[in-house]
Structure 1
């Protein structure tokens, strides 16, 4: 009898603990979807009152993926909120280290639907410059084509040292109507005219070339009068034009 009583007491304590946790999550489950979305947005890297722009990362330890692990109702809600998936930081080596991550990037951007996208793509110039290819050309091209598929919704994009394969695919983009800000650190992208710099929405251009500044200055931009910020720099540290521009310039 003593053993049964002891087990019953343990069960009651466990049940009391479970009931307390249920009480904590019952209130959030009753929140209106709009309010819940605002709370979730504040959980993102650049959420709340932060003035520093940071894109989301593909990690289960931070939002939005972390929110999918709380409970089934939050997972369902998170998956149905496009704005939660409208930004992504893409370190190429990390993404291509596993086959599933490349497809995960595409699925991530698909969840963003038609929301303006903020993307930062980071590659290692020294690796591909010296022929240290860690990934196949097919994998690199597949990732680049996946990004190109969503170019209609690009809003703010940053590319750091894109590989020649990535750069070639991106140079073929001729439709990026919502692109407002474009930043490039590297050289390969500048080998020929990047058509996406002719976006009618483009306002900010930052080009940091490892080569001579003249390569940067020769890039044709259709509508200079659209730009409000232009920063051109060469590998020598010499800046071309830097700062803010008025529409009349």
Structure 2
């Protein structure tokens, strides 16, 4: 399932009375099964793009389409992972993974079977009856991914899901996520401030300007091992791509 933005602008009202334009004239496409990252300065509208994809905001101008159909509200085809895992502390891990299915009225036996399958897929076997406080940060994020995958979305939105983790846990989790998403064939859009992370995980990278965010560069990452960031990480070209991204962002900073 593909995702497309066509000349999208989003304007928010403010208490001061002067409207704030978050993004302006944004157009791009993410093909089925493709992994695309979006980088840019803080406040440039990256998270606004995810929210419009999920149908939480409507564009002020232009349109967002999923498989050719305009997104006019919350979209059942989209799974959204935020920086925080947002696991419910009073529910066990398996009950947390079932939550989205439960909300959709999926029968108990079916949702339990799907939750167990995703637990195994995300390497959380044996932690079904644990509570979130009993898991490490990395395990909690894997549980959040399992919860997202359990509803079987066609498109996965990732809003800096690794930003709060230490370097070692981050790399291991990037590898786990990349493999899981690739095996499931999911179309993925990642928001990140980590330029190396964008290179390690992506097929393409979109660079946004300062607010109002516009696309100032689109970079195809022509490297192997997209589904294994640990293997991609040792390639010397990775630093060249990161330097290219940094150059775009610094040039934009000077222009601003």
TM norm. shorter chain > 0.5: no
Q: Is the helix fraction higher in 1 or 2? A: 1
TM-score, reference length from structure 1: 0.34
Q: More strand by proportion, 1 or 2?
A: 2
TM-score between both structures, scaled by the size of structure 2? 0.33
Considering Cα pairs closer than 8 Å and 6+ residues apart, tell me whether 1 or 2 has the greater RCO: 2
